[in-house]
A and B are shown apart, each in its own frame.
Chain A
Amino acid sequence: MSTTQERTVPSICESFGNERSRMMDIVLEVQDKLGCVDAETIDAIAAATDAPRVDVESVVSFYSFTSQKPKGKVVIRLSSDVPDIMAGALDVARGLEEELGIRFGETTPDGMFTLEWTSCIGMSDQAPAALVNGLVMPSLGPGTARRGVQILRERNNLEDLQGTLIREYGDGENSHDLVRAAVRNNIRRPGKVIFGRMESGAGLIKALAMSPAEVIRGIKTARLRGRGGAGFPTGMKWEFTRAAGGDDRTLICNADEGEPGTFKDRVILTERPDLLFEGMTIAGYAIGAKIGLLYLRAEYSYLREYLEHVLERRREQRLLGSRVCGKEGFEFDIRIQMGAGAYICGEETALISSCEGLRGDPKNRPPFPAQHGYLGTPTSVNNVETLCCVAPILEMGPGWFSSIGSAGSTGTKLLSISGDCMRRGVYEVPFGTTLREVFEMCGASEPAAVQVGGPSGQMVGPDDYAREICFDDLATGGSLMIFGPRRNLLEIASQFMEFFIEESCGYCTPCRVGNVLLKERLDKILAGLGEKSDLEYLQKLATTIKTTSRCGLGQTSANPVLSTIENFKMLYERLLKEPEEGRQRSFDIQTALSQAQDLTGRESVHFKQG
């Protein structure tokens, strides 16, 4: 270990109080400073935090954005999400490979560049997109990507990547001095709750004039339900958390936004951070929490400084800290907890594990987070969009909110629309909007299919286009990927399975093993080697994964297969044949014999080639 390393690691650990529960922050900062967290560094972190080294290794090896091996000075992570592939990510990849003379997964011999694929980075509306050391490069083409690499080589200046690579900043706060991103908001349709109104701060003042129980009652009367996917009534969640014993409670805002195809939280974080922090503060008051954590996915680290700045301003304005708004006895502050590249950490118990400095394994329930969450404290985990509804509800009244949307689903929903349509971006629509209305808005004529709710949701076809987006019909966290008539829907299902294989934490058997088996058989069918019996095989396997998996990831990961079998069965049937001569269609005698033939140096007499 070099002397800088010898000094760097302990001082980083110390800046986090040598606390094991801050392991994520420690590991991320070490990764940032040293380029990797190698075996010796792991030992040093273990020594400083008094943690078993295997526990440190466990964390480092879990997350996509931390690594034990050194990588290039510039790491290019190209998003492998379906909308990125549809928009030409493979051409961009080929361009980069040619330019750099390496393949994906490799580092150039001079240690300058590393190429990697990564799961959806929340830029499906401006695909294909990549992260260059955390800097977002949207709307890439093979030419622009190659030129970017050439410029980096020529200038040889990695200090100011932004200045070197970005020509034009995006709209709104994307061009803020602390953001300086090429990202565009693409807010196509502002609605009544989140993007249509001006922020006023009146919600917080009204809330603090009420008792916490009254605030919760208001949220219940508005019938606010979680926007993160599960749709749990928010008021009830807060009530449970408040009712759990003890003095310490925690509020966590889930800004992991990992479901492929969603990017609405990105736009909220960019354009409505005050609305979010105001909602978090009201939530903290309602449940009786002193601490709020914003769990921010690593892919959005470009927004971190800006968000810290907004928090700092709110502290100065006395909207955070001790005696918020002068309210005696109400102390509340918000800390940003960075993620490190793991879809599973959007699952609320895995998210809590990650906040505690552990690998992102979900926890067993019971106990539920409302009883026993972050570091044992009763915890409420809420989505970004959910928390953004809170201040408007208090300001305008529950009746105003519940008059928007449909009976079982009040308010608006942000949709993240990507794929084959004219106007990709964020749409704030009242619940109850039909798919057909959505197509009209975004300019999608006659789509062959639409993926509602991301890979974990369902793929539906024209028969379902009259259905409504709401909790009782087509429930969704907001990801809508639109597929035109020329797309290979089963190929897309296979890409979704690849995503789940990549992102499974590996804790439970069905999710860790079953998803691999499911993709194997689906790919066999796609290769034209499927048999009629494979359909039943897929269904039974998928059902096993769905029913026996431990958390929401495995309980939904078979949906790409199950929903395509349900809604697009003819696509499978077209590919499936009866086996000939009682032999499996996927069995090729020449391949099976080849190894033995090579070893013996002669060909089979019975099974002659050709």
Chain B
Amino acid sequence: MNNNNQKISLTIDGVEVQGKPGQTILEAAEAAAVYIPRLCWMKNLTAAGSCRVCSVRANGRVQSACTQPIGPGMVVENDTEELRELRRNLIDMLFVEGNHFCMFCEKSGECELQALAYRFGITAPKYPFMFPQRDLDASHPEILVDRNRCILCGRCVRASQELDGKHVFGFVGRGTTKRLAVNAPDNLAQTDAEADDQAVAACPTGSLLVKRVGYAVPVGQRKFDHSPIGSEIENSDVQD
């Protein structure tokens, strides 16, 4: 962008914020130290707009903040009771859709789904569990794929292409049969996936795990053990 010095002024929950041309609502908010909850979004990746957790009201319409560009005078609602409830419901849906057993999961404390649930005060989902039959791919010597914990955010799919320059993952099926697939006939071992691929690190849950390092960081010292998800943004300096 050549008009980088230009400012776009908008409000988020009544507070005026200065954004830059080309920014999405989520990016402008983040630069202003305002946290908009999100799951499928990750810095440096194309926005997918699939989890819908970042839903905000922009000029009255519900939009995903990660895909909606800012505009001058835009009025954004973010932290309202309506939106908190919608987000809680979406997070609940992700929990009941898969098989998430936080107490046995080595990602516990580092998991963004779990951390969001805590931030939203969810102790048990309001929807009935679906207990789907999902499979596990332990073929790769270094990496475990556990589809029970997959929330179909697609971060690994995009990170593999956009950051690793590979094409290890993709989605197959549709609707309730949609699942994470690998770029090989049978399993991950047949692909060029490696443990230090950014695609593996991109997983927000315990669905992609590097083997044998699960407890290197003890419980109690993990990322979200002391402060809730999003607080790093809320405590950051406003960028200009």
Contact = CB atoms under 8 A, between A and B. Distances in A.
Interface of A: 39, 42-43, 52-55, 57-58, 61-62, 342, 344, 359-360, 364, 366, 501-510, 512-514, 516-517, 520, 537, 540-541, 544, 547-550
Given A508-B50, A516-B130, A55 B170 contact: yes
B90 A509 contact: yes
A61 B50 CA distance: 19
B122 interface: no
Contact of A54 (B93, B169, B176): B169
A54 B173 contact: no
Given A506-B152, A548-B52, 9 more contacts: A53-B184, A53-B185, A58-B181, A359-B174, A360-B174, A510-B52, A514-B89, A520-B128, A540-B89
Nearest to B167: A52
Interface in B24-75: 47-53, 55, 62, 64, 67, 69
A516 B176 contact: yes
Interface residues of B, number: 42
B90 A510 contact: yes
Contacts of B167: 52, 54-55
B86 interface: yes
A513 B93 contact: yes
Given A54-B167, A57-B181, A517-B128, A548 B173 contact: no
Contact of B173 (A62, A364, A540): A62
Contacts of B175: 501-506, 512
Contacts of B189: none
9 closest A-B pairs (Cβ-Cβ)?
A: A506-B178, A54-B170, A513-B93, A54-B183, A61-B172, A504-B175, A52-B167, A544-B89, A506-B175
B50 A58 contact: no
B22 to A, nearest CB: 12
Contacts of A513: 93-94, 96-97
A548 B127 contact: no
B212 to A, nearest CB: 27
27 contacts: A43-B185, A54-B181, A54-B183, A58-B171, A61-B177, A62-B173, A364-B47, A364-B49, A366-B69, A504-B175, A506-B171, A506-B177, A506-B178, A509-B51, A509-B90, A509-B97, A512-B152, A512-B175, A514-B93, A517-B96, A517-B127, A517-B128, A537-B126, A540-B85, A547-B55, A548-B52, A550-B64
B183 to A, nearest CB: 4
Contacts of A54: 167, 169-170, 172, 181-184
Contact of B170 (A57, A360, A514): A57
Contacts of A57: 170, 172, 181
A248 B183 CA distance: 34
A548 B86 contact: yes
Contacts of A39: 185
B166 to A, nearest CB: 9
A512 B90 contact: no
Contact of A548 (B90, B126, B128, B185): B90
A544 B84 CA distance: 11
Interface in B92-128: 93-94, 96-97, 126-128
Nearest to A512: B175
A504 B51 contact: no
Contacts of B130: 516
Contacts of A517: 93, 96, 127-128
A549 to B, nearest CB: 7
Contact of A510 (B47, B93, B128): B93
B172 A58 contact: yes
Contacts of A507: 50, 178
A549 B62 CA distance: 9
Given A503-B175, A506-B175, A509-B90, A549 B170 contact: no
Contacts of B184: 53-54
